[in-house]
Chain A
Amino acid sequence: MSIIKTHNLERFYTEGGLTVKALNGVTLNIEEGEFTAIVGPSGSGKTTLLNVIGGLDAPTNGSVEIANTEITKLKDNELIDFRLNNIGFVFQAYNLIPVLSALENTEFIMLLQNQPKAKRETRAKELLKEVGLESQINKKPNEMSGGQQQRVAVARALASKPKFVLADEPTANLDSKSTSDLLDIMHELNQKEKTTFIFSTHDQRVIDRAKRVITLEDGKIISDETKN
């Protein structure tokens, strides 16, 4: 079953009087439970595609349908609520809240969803255990390594049980050991919780682990491979 459908996506920017085609007719379907990498050189449109799919950016033309909801037609506040309840985000620079502990950061999305304290805490502890940070739940981001912070970010993204997780270059700031650990965790979550992961990445190690690799160039899909 397709969880994401894009149709003829176009996203144009104007820079210094010139029109840049960041996305130029992208049509794709992503099925539930996929572990997909979007790859391509810098400026190929990977991040723009993730932003448009995640409802953070609006396409110039085309449509994005997520779980039978066309998000390109949603109003601002509806889109914010849709993101809150359906999409998990993992950012390159982790973007944890510095004054909150690992547990509180993980709980944060559920707090925005007004979930009860006990439920939030149970779910956050469970996820932090799954990402191997059971003993670090009370640590603040500045007391953790980059790899640990990114694992908290993954736990945060999964806390509200989103339909899929968008991860923009999640391993760009990590060393090889942390990258490997993170990929193991995400792969396990993909298998265990059937969570759909979509990455944009340059990292060959991520590409090697992906089940499907979509390659972009100049805003167009130039290849779409599914591994057996």
Chain B
Amino acid sequence: MIAIFLGVWSGVFIDALSLGMNNQRTENFLSTSIGHIQIHNPKYLKDGKISFTIPNAEKLLQRTKKIEGLHISNRTKISGMVSTANGASAGNIVGINPDDEKHVSTIYQNIKEGTYFEEEKKNGIVIGKKLADKLKVKINSKIILTFQDQDNEIIASAFRVQGLYKTANSRFDEMNVFVQQQDLARIFNTEPLIHESGIWLDNKENVDQTTEILQSIFPDLEVRSWKVIAPDLSYTDEIMMQILYIVMAIILAALAFGIINTMLMAILERRRELGMLMAVGLNKSKLFSMVVIETIFLSLISGPIGLIVAYFTVEYFKINGLDFSSAAAGLEDVGYSSIVYLDMEPSFYFGTLGLVIFTAILSSIYPAYKALQLNPIESIRGI
């Protein structure tokens, strides 16, 4: 019974941990870098030239903003070098309108030092803490950004660090720096160059439908959902529940051997009793049913208790999180948070209960068959 309880509890716990980690990873990627939908000039996606901007981006912004449940932020995105006196690093320079961006990404919530463009100064920059550590810069340190302009001329411009952010994805933190769109426009001496419109939906489930609508509104642009932008995330998301059931099935399969072993031992220990029952007139179908029912009964007591305890464990860690700070560096390198909030779909508990019942029935057949093979005479004499 304890084995079944522990098996079910640990199975649900491991699955909830996996689901929680995966959901957080997906949410981290979406809320910091990808968003739900992105719109680009198709040519920009092919070769990333700075001149391939979204035409009439401001109109697109205003028109899209009118759609309910949808938030949009236009971005300038260029590749360049981030340099200081202590070193240099390649990176993506993202020009944003901070107010719009707040509705689309959570970078502003992840500011660990300084501010998120709250100072009314030109050429402010917000960089990842990981990059700051690498380049040994602090708040108010000077950084030189080097990149190409529309005419492929190299431009270098000085920025001053206003804020340091830290997300759960350290690679993202190392690669992306944020500046104000208007500062870049002034450097390029043009209207803001918009390469990307990032979109956040209040309801993530509407992403496919909204993508289709936006694509029909802007047929000359490339409208892609996060599922297309990051197929690995989407695929993992889609097969996650199947994986969880497979993990649970493997645990229960191992458990089945435990149940079979326990019941075989029980039959061996009680062979005198079973022999007596067979001798006095317990027929084979009743004996078979007795062992099957006993096995199912054992499983149905301990299985649901395991599920109930697992439910409360998951609910506790869903709120309080499970601290993996000691392994934070490794986890954040691959996009996982160091505090994991467990998660589980309610249907999974019912699915697991079904699996437990199925396992119990399956596991009872062999011991019941072995009970039928007992010879009453030998069993009564304890041979």
- What is A's interface to B at a CB cutoff of 8 Å? 51, 54, 56-57, 76-77, 80-81, 83-85, 89, 91, 93, 95, 97-98, 108-109, 112, 156
Contacts A56-B377, A57-B377; A95 near B276 (Cβ below 8 A): yes
B283 at interface (Cβ–Cβ under 8 A)? Answer: yes
**Pairs A–B under 8 Å by Cβ, sample size 26:** A51-B377, A54-B279, A56-B376, A56-B377, A57-B377, A76-B284, A77-B284, A80-B278, A80-B282, A81-B281, A83-B281, A84-B280, A84-B283, A85-B281, A89-B276, A91-B279, A91-B380, A95-B272, A95-B273, A95-B276, A97-B273, A97-B276, A98-B273, A108-B280, A109-B280, A112-B282
Complex formed: what's the CA distance from A54 to B275 in Å?
14
Given contacts A57-B377, A77-B283, A80-B284, 9 further A-B contacts (CB under 8 A): A51-B377, A56-B279, A56-B377, A77-B284, A83-B279, A83-B280, A84-B282, A97-B276, A109-B281
A156 to B276, CA, bound (A): 12
Binary interface encoding of chain B residues 247-263 relative to chain A, with 1 for a CB under 8 A from any of its CBs, else 0: 00000000000000000
Q: If the complex has contacts A56-B377, A95-B380, are A81 and B276 also in contact, measured as CB distance less than 8 A?
A: no
Give 4 nearest A-B pairs by CB, closest first: A84-B281, A95-B276, A80-B283, A83-B281
Within 8 A of A (CB), among B357-381: 376-377, 380
**A residues near B280, Cβ cutoff 8 Å:** 83-84, 89, 108-109, 112, 156
| A76 neighbours in B (Cβ, 8 Å) | 284
B residues at A contact (CB < 8 Å) = 272-273, 275-276, 278-284, 286, 376-377, 380, 382
Q: What residues on A are CB-neighbors of B380 within 8 Å?
A: 91, 93, 95
Chain A residues positioned under 8 Å from B281 (CB to CB): 80-81, 83-85, 109, 112
Residues of chain A with a CB closer than 8 A to B376's CB = 56
Closest to A99 in B: B273
With A and B bound together, what is the CA distance between A80 and B279 in angstroms?
8
B276 adjacent to A91 (CB under 8 Å): yes
Q: Looking at B281, B286, B382, which has the most chain A CB atoms within 10 Å of its CB?
A: B281
Distance A104 CA – B377 CA, assembled complex (angstroms):
23
Q: Bound complex: CA of A89 vs CA of B278, how far in Å? A: 11
Partner of B272, one of A77, A80, A93, A156: A93
Q: CA A80 – CA B287 in complex, angstroms?
A: 12
Chain B hits for A95, CB < 8 A: 272-273, 275-276, 380
Report the bound CA distance from A98 to B282 in whole Å. Answer: 17
Question: Which residues from chain A contact B273 at a C-beta distance below 8 Å?
Answer: 95, 97-98
Most B CB contacts (10 A, CB to CB) among A54, A95, A98, A156 go to: A95
Residue among A57, A83, A97 facing the most chain B CB atoms (10 A cut-off): A83
CB of A195 to closest CB in B, whole Å: 16
Least CB distance from B84 to A in Å reads: 79
Q: A81 touching B377 by the CB < 8 A rule?
A: no
Report Cα–Cα, A97/B280, bound state, in Å: 12
- What is the bound-complex CA distance between A172 and B237, given in angstroms? 71
Chain B positions within 8 Å of A93 at CB level: 272, 380, 382
For A54, what are the chain B residues with a Cβ–Cβ distance below 8 Å? 279
Closest A residue, CB atoms, query B283: A80
Q: Which residues in A have their C-beta under 8 angstroms from that of B377?
A: 51, 56-57
When C-beta atoms are compared, the residue in chain B nearest to A51 turns out to be B377
A76 to B285, CA, bound (A): 12
* Closest chain B residue to A48, Cβ basis: B377
| Chain B residues within an 8 Å CB radius of A81 | 281, 283
Q: Complex: how many Å from CA A98 to CA B266? A: 14
**Bound CA span A95–B272, Å:** 7
Chain A residues with CB under 8 A of B284: 76-77, 80
> Residue A89 contacts which of B279, B282, B283 (CB distance < 8 angstroms)?
B279
Chain A residue contacts of B282, Cβ below 8 A? 80, 84, 112
Kindly report which residue of chain B lies nearest to residue A86, judged by CB atoms.
B281
Residues of B within 8 A of A156 (CB): 280
* B contact residues around A91 at 8 Å (CB): 276, 279, 380
**What are the residues of chain A within 8 A of B382 when measuring CB–CB?**
93
- Most chain A C-beta atoms within 10 Å of own C-beta, residue among B273, B279, B377, B382: B279
Chain B residues in 8 Å Cβ range of A97:
273, 276
Q: How far is the CA of A56 from the CA of B376 in the complex (A)?
A: 7
Q: Which residue of chain B lies nearest to A153 when distances are taken between CB atoms in the complex?
A: B276
**Distance A11 CA – B279 CA, assembled complex (angstroms):** 19
A133 to B276, CA, bound (A): 22
Q: A residues within 8 A CB of B286?
A: 112
Report the Cα distance A84→B286, complex, angstroms. 13
Scoring B280, B286, B382 by chain A CB atoms within 10 A of each residue's CB, the highest score goes to B280
Q: Which residue of A lies closest to B281 (CB)?
A: A84
- Complex interface: chain A residues within 8 A of B278 (CB): 80
Q: CA A108 – CA B280 in complex, angstroms?
A: 10
Query: In the bound complex, what is the Cα–Cα distance between A112 and B290 (angstroms)?
Result: 12
Alpha-carbon separation in the docked complex, A181 to B380 (Å): 24
Question: With the chains together, A84 CA to B282 CA distance in Å?
Answer: 8
Closest chain A residue to B273, Cβ basis:
A97
Q: In the complex, which residues of chain B have a beta carbon less than 8 angstroms from the beta carbon of A109?
A: 280-281
Quote the shortest CB–CB distance from B373 to chain A (angstroms): 13
Report how far A53 CA is from B279 CA in the complex, Å.
Answer: 12
Could you tell me the distance between the alpha carbons of A108 and B276 in the complex, rounded to whole angstroms? 11
- In angstroms, Cα B29 to Cα A175, docked, is 82
Contacts of A51 in B (CB 8 A): 377
Instruction: Specify the chain B residue showing the minimal Cβ separation from A113.
Output: B281
Give the residue name and chain of the A residue nearest to B376 (CB): A56
